[in-house]
């Protein structure tokens, strides 16, 4: 159970009902991470705008790479909710259970390209040791392997966003849905 009151879809009225209806239409269903914000409906709208921009917006980073970083951040933060949701998204792109299991256990040992591992290392280090980012210590390896500044910016946005969401989920007691999959991933 969440640690605060949550307005369920069947109880929603006015702006919140419209927001819930829009989420069902655009994403396929309403996630618990959205319901936890039901007492402040505008925060759901702003949250979804940010999410859609960072995770689905035009970017030189592939969607799967953004989802991979989301998982790495969520593993580092021990956020089972976000790990599960975004592993489902990665699974949607990979369609390879063994690769997914290896990735979840330790991305360094998973059959990933070096550029993919570099993004995962950046996600892990910026999450666990943000103070190490002084003088570009975390960014320089990405640049050296060929990432553009735009790709680095987009990676940092994904990492920061998931640290934000992990805190909402963990801090307010958001629990995983019975069926966490079934969202629109493309």
Closest CA to 116 of 67, 153, 150: 67
Same domain, 50 and 68: no
Question: How many Å apart are CA 159 and CA 35, to the nearest integer?
Answer: 22
For residue 72, being part of any structural domain is answered with yes
Query: In this structure, what DSSP letter does residue 3 have?
Result: S
Same domain, 83 and 137: yes
Same domain, 67 and 34: no
Question: How many Å apart are CA 167 and CA 77, to the nearest integer?
Answer: 9
Same domain, 101 and 38: no
Closest CA to 142 of 164, 173, 120: 120
User: What is the pLDDT, as a whole number, of residue 186?
Assistant: 58
Question: How many Å apart are CA 67 and CA 85, to the nearest integer?
Answer: 10
For residue 1, being part of any structural domain is answered with no
Question: How many Å apart are CA 183 and CA 102, to the nearest integer?
Answer: 23
For residue 87, being part of any structural domain is answered with yes
Query: In this structure, what DSSP letter does residue 148 have?
Result: -
User: What is the pLDDT, as a whole number, of residue 13?
Assistant: 96
For residue 180, being part of any structural domain is answered with no
Same domain, 81 and 35: no
Same domain, 51 and 94: no
Question: How many Å apart are CA 123 and CA 101, to the nearest integer?
Answer: 19
User: What is the pLDDT, as a whole number, of residue 135?
Assistant: 82
Full pLDDT tens readout for the chain, 186 residues: 899 999 999 999 999 999 999 998 888 888 999 999 999 999 999 999 999 999 999 999 999 999 999 999 999 999 999 999 999 999 999 999 999 999 999 999 999 999 999 999 999 999 999 998 888 889 999 999 999 999 999 999 999 999 999 999 999 999 998 876 655 555
Same domain, 27 and 42: yes
What pTM value is reported for the model? 0.92
The counts of H helices and E strands in the chain are 9, 0
Same domain, 109 and 153: yes
Question: How many Å apart are CA 174 and CA 19, to the nearest integer?
Answer: 19
User: What is the pLDDT, as a whole number, of residue 181?
Assistant: 62
Question: How many Å apart are CA 60 and CA 173, to the nearest integer?
Answer: 34
Per the structure, the count of domains in the chain is: 2
User: What is the pLDDT, as a whole number, of residue 180?
Assistant: 63
For residue 184, being part of any structural domain is answered with no
For residue 118, being part of any structural domain is answered with yes
User: What is the pLDDT, as a whole number, of residue 183?
Assistant: 54
Instruction: Please give the C-alpha separations between residue 55 and each of 18, 72, 117, in angstroms, as whole numbers.
Output: 23, 15, 19
Same domain, 51 and 69: no
Same domain, 90 and 151: yes
Question: How many Å apart are CA 177 and CA 186, to the nearest integer?
Answer: 21
For residue 153, being part of any structural domain is answered with yes
Q: What is the CATH number of the domain that holds 86?
A: 1.20.1290.10
Domain that holds residue 88: 63-172
């Amino acid at each position: 159970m969440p640690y605060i009151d949550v307005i369920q879809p069947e109880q929603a009225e006015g702006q919140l009902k419209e927001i819930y209806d829009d989420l069902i239409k655009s994403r396929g269903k309403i996630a618990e991470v959205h319901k936890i914000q039901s007492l402040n409906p505008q925060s759901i709208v702003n949250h979804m705008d940010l999410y859609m921009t960072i995770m689905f917006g035009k970017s030189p980073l592939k969607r799967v790479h953004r989802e991979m970083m989301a998982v790495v951040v969520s593993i580092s933060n021990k956020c089972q909710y976000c790990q599960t949701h975004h592993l489902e998204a990665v699974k949607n792109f990979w369609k390879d259970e063994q690769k997914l299991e290896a990735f979840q256990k330790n991305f360094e040992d998973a059959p990933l390209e070096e550029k993919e591992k570099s993004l995962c290392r950046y996600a892990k280090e910026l999450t666990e040791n943000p103070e190490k980012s002084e003088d570009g210590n975390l960014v320089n390896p990405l640049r050296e392997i060929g990432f553009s500044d735009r790709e680095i910016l987009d990676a940092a946005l994904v990492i920061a966003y998931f640290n934000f969401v992990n805190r909402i989920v963990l801090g307010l007691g958001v629990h995983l849905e019975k069926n966490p999959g079934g969202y629109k991933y493309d």
